[in-house]
Amino acid sequence: MQFTLGSIFIKDVQFGPRTEVAGGTLFVNKGELEELLMQDEHLQSVTLEIAHPGDSIRIMPVKDVIEPRVKPELDSGIFPGMVSKMFTAGVGRTHVLKGSAVVTTGRIVGYQEGIIDMQGPGAELTPFSQLHNLVIVAEPAAAITPHQHEAALRKMGLRAANYLGQAARSLEPDETVTYELLPLHEYHRRYPDLPKIAYVYMLQSQGLLHDTYYYGVDVKNMVPTFMHPTEVMDGAIVSGNCVSACDKNTTYHHLNNPVIHDLLKRHGKDLCFVGCVITNENVTLLDKQRSSDLTAKLVEYLGVDGVIISEEGFGNPDTDLIMNCTKIERKGIKTVLITDEYAGRDGTSQSLADASPLADAIVSAGNANALITLPPMERVIGSLEPAEVIAGGFKGNRNADGSLTVELQAIIGATNELGFNRLTAREY
């Protein structure tokens, strides 16, 4: 099997009379998209805004970020089992509007969602400041439940990304990359002398509104599963969680998972990347034991020499991370962990909630407790009201000059545990 990803590079996003790409600009029919999104009875209103790199704009609280994509050979968009018909993702051809994104904000469920600054020091900590963002500000209908509210905002963003993706359907990509997908035994036969590597992809699933979806299924209801790496590029994995912004994997992060992309670049050269094991992050000890047991068994069955394990979230999931590491290491398979740290504002607290002497190869994505002062912006899309109560905010953090002091925890993607960020840490 093969999968081809074609990128159309977007240099600008503007409103226009029709939704299309012309001369590197994505034009959006504002009224048509708003009408489409308002078909959801759970939404009271929808407003569209545009934010460009370098604009004096603060977007908050951000629910999700999604990249527009389309499969030219299919009638529907991507995100199978979620807002599109079911299909097997990661095969065939997909076109992406690279450089653009859909950002969802407005009144959200809880206040653990974060901030995107389009300029200044905050912009340097989030990858989304470098994108041309179509921002959707949504107001939910009255009297809906928190679950209905979250689902409406989640699906709204996915539908908008699918709508924009249609503009790429008949375009010739500026750049294409083709990946070959082989049966497991063929990888071992073709690359006998290269180290075999798998990726253990931990997904947030810790109870109420801490959800991730795989083909539309809440992963808290799953056991560890093998996945072809290209499946995520068609939206097989969708974010639905309300967790700290800094290490939350948005849908954009999943679509562009750098662990997967980097392993695919090196595949057949200095390593053999056999695929991914997706597993959940659990609340109870029994569930943690079950998932880590099955993850280690599946990794061993793949016959690999090493694995990369990435976490999502912190605290409770640290136990899942260390359990996966310990059980895989005890099978003689080397592990490298990717996580971030909550080491206190001065960096002297314990970084992880769990540890093991076998976890001796760890890549840090930075300390989420570090403080930063974000300068005032000329414009806010969404609302500043949650500034004191979002994760990473605190009472009195709104300053008289309009600036905002927060922990890095409040900035979307600042310490992302897929390595999709600019921070790290090292031991001296």
Using the CB atoms, write b or e for 341-363: b if 16+ within 10 Å: bbbeeeeeeebbebeeeebeebb
What is the CA 112 to chain-centroid distance, rounded? Answer: 15
Annotated catalytic residue 246: no
The counts of H helices and E strands in the chain are: 7, 25
Cα(409)–Cα(368) distance, rounded to whole angstroms? 5
Q: What angle do helix axes 146-165 and 30-37 make, rounded to 10 degrees?
A: 140
pLDDT of the chain along its 428 residues, tens only? 899 999 999 999 999 999 999 999 999 999 999 999 999 999 999 999 999 999 999 999 999 999 999 999 998 899 999 999 999 999 999 999 999 999 999 887 776 689 999 999 999 999 999 999 999 999 999 989 888 988 999 999 999 999 999 999 999 999 999 999 999 999 999 999 999 999 999 999 987 778 899 999 999 999 999 999 999 999 999 998 877 899 999 999 999 999 999 999 999 999 999 999 999 999 999 999 999 999 999 999 999 999 999 999 999 999 999 999 999 999 999 999 999 999 999 988 999 999 999 999 999 999 999 999 999 999 999 999 899 999 999 999 999 999 999 999 999 999 999 999 988 777 66
List all residues 6 or more positions away from 297 whose beta carbon is below 8 Å from its beta carbon: none
Query: Is 280 strand, coil or helix?
Result: strand
* Closest by CA position to 27, among listed 36, 38, 39, 16: 16
Cα(184)–Cα(49) distance, rounded to whole angstroms? 46
Tokens of 335: 């592990």
Angle at 119 between CA 133 and CA 419, to 5 degrees: 75
φ/ψ (deg, to 5) at 178:
-115, 135
Q: Which among 242, 246, 272, 276 is annotated as catalytic?
A: 242
